[in-house]
Copies of this chain bind each other. A is one copy, B any other.
């Protein structure tokens, strides 16, 4: 099967780029001697998970997931060591318990004393990490908060350590800034772990991540594992913040020209707001890539900085920048679009069409979406 045979829009995953990204992260984390716990929220694919766990550079132990649908899917494919890294609710504990009764070891997180009590009170309580706020102020308790010790106490024997995520790294714009955020992430988690240890609660797991901080951290002392996900595929936003280069984006959307407006240097394509997502992560980045960078059918940057300027539900307006020759693309011609934010873009699609540097489809890998 060739790319030309595929229905559009669809997701194309370049296996060579993926492997290069996996290697780069594996090496970066292995420098510190800590384990990598790949976050599958981006890829949502057992095939990608297996590659991410087959880490020749160091330890990759277990995975991270963002939904219970992912947990169930990966357990069904034989992965047992799973961290569900979104605050648990009491209602979700039955589903976790069911997976664990079937042989999995799904861990949960909380930053709430009452939720910790509900976890401990469950008939089959999972192991739980306490979420620490290292500066993003999204979720988590401050490392020095009194409630930290209360949550650990209420978790009882299921308490397994702490985890944090420095989402503020997405505001960083240089390796130096990322290293500073990584230091805050590390020290937040380690400070919380030290306070707990001083109160008799040793933390078997001290977890942090983040692709940008995992790559740029100068020290991971006191950290036992690093979580990261978007590094596998990359995207325009991650390229903007220095996680990888512009040629390291492994996932693109294959699309067809469905209309032509040469006077406006535009074509209409069949990848719109659903196929690309309406994510505008690069809006505040040094370069705003609108709804994605227009590549040729082989994924090459043949059209300079031409972008998808607007999207409607099933329509994208691809505009060729004035510094490139206007290509003569008939209706039906194929393009590929590099995404702003690959986690959001990929979520609209149920499979990857896998290539390896050319236009031959070497595999089809399914994704698990939804909740």
Contacts and interface: CB of A to CB of B under 8 A. Distances in A.
A66 B275 CA distance: 12
Interface in A324-348: 330-332, 343-344, 347-348
A349 to B, nearest CB: 7
Given A112-B260, A313-B66, A331-B112, A344 B274 contact: yes
A90 interface: yes
Contact of A344 (B68, B95, B112, B273): B273
B371 A10 contact: yes
Contacts of A41: 313-314
A348 B349 CA distance: 10
A188 B139 CA distance: 52
A167 interface: yes
Interface string A68-105: 10000000000000000011111110010000000000
A277 interface: yes
A273 B279 contact: yes
Nearest to A170: B312
Given A66-B313, A278-B277, A258 B89 contact: yes
Interface of A: 7-10, 41, 66-68, 86-92, 95, 110-112, 114-115, 118, 131, 137-139, 167, 256-261, 264, 268, 270, 273-275, 277-280, 312-315, 317, 330-332, 343-344, 347-350, 369-371
